[in-house]
Amino acid sequence: MQTVLITGFEPFGGETVNPSWEVVKLLDGMIIDDCRVVARQLPCVFGESLEVLNAAIDALQPTVVLAIGQAGGRVDVTVERVAINVDDARIPDNRGQQPVDVAIVPGGPAAWFSTLPIKAMVAALREAGIPASVSQTAGTFVCNHVMYGVLHKLADWPEVKGGFIHIPYLPEQAAAHPGAPSMAAHTVKQALEIAITVALRQAHDIKVIGGATH
């Protein structure tokens, strides 16, 4: 059975929970479009996060890799288009690291673009009544670090599709940040199930087309 690898982060920045992991862990073991979903938690740490993710990719050989992260203040599910080759941390990571203008991959491309069907994902989410949009920036913290790193790795595996989605605070987090938007866990879970389905259908279509041309 083919595998979808989905990741979420541990809490950071003084939060006691991270919505990405709180939702992603609910998907672990699910079967979507005949593929098994495997969830992994990533440390919110430069370097170490990619080590954990790359090891999971090597072990699982997934069809799709989808990383999820918290973006407090965003109002909807945002599917990221691009990751840039820079770590520039506004706050320290969970090991106290705070890089400034440091390349993720020295000498690597300035940016990597998501290989997921980002517009189709957003359209499907909106059709399901879930607020969603394409985001043009994954920031410069650990989320962007992970997105760039995984796409850099997958450049050698073009058959494996990968990308990143940011999600808002959970309501219990927003309660401590007056005025901040939030989204319920069950809504985010539904959104990620839809996103995975759309990504898998693209991956399967590419394999069918590729097989027909050889």
**Residues annotated as catalytic (active site), given as ranges:** 80, 143, 166
Where is 150: in which H helix or E strand?
helix 142-154
Nearest Cα residue to 32 out of 165, 157, 185, 190? 190
Q: Are 87 and 104 in contact (CB under 8 A)?
A: yes
Cβ–Cβ < 8 Å for 114, 151:
yes
End-to-end Cα separation, the chain, in angstroms: 23
Region for residue 98 given its phi and psi (left: phi exceeds 0; alpha: psi -120 to 50; beta: otherwise)? beta
- What values do phi and psi take at 115, rounded to 5? -100, 10
Asked if 81 and 113 count as a contact pair (C-beta separation under 8 A), the reply is: yes
Burial of 5 (0-12, 13-18, 19+ CB in 10 A): buried
The first and second tokens of residue 88, run together, are 């520039």
- Contact predicate 174/70, CB 8 Å: no
Side chain identity, residue 58: D
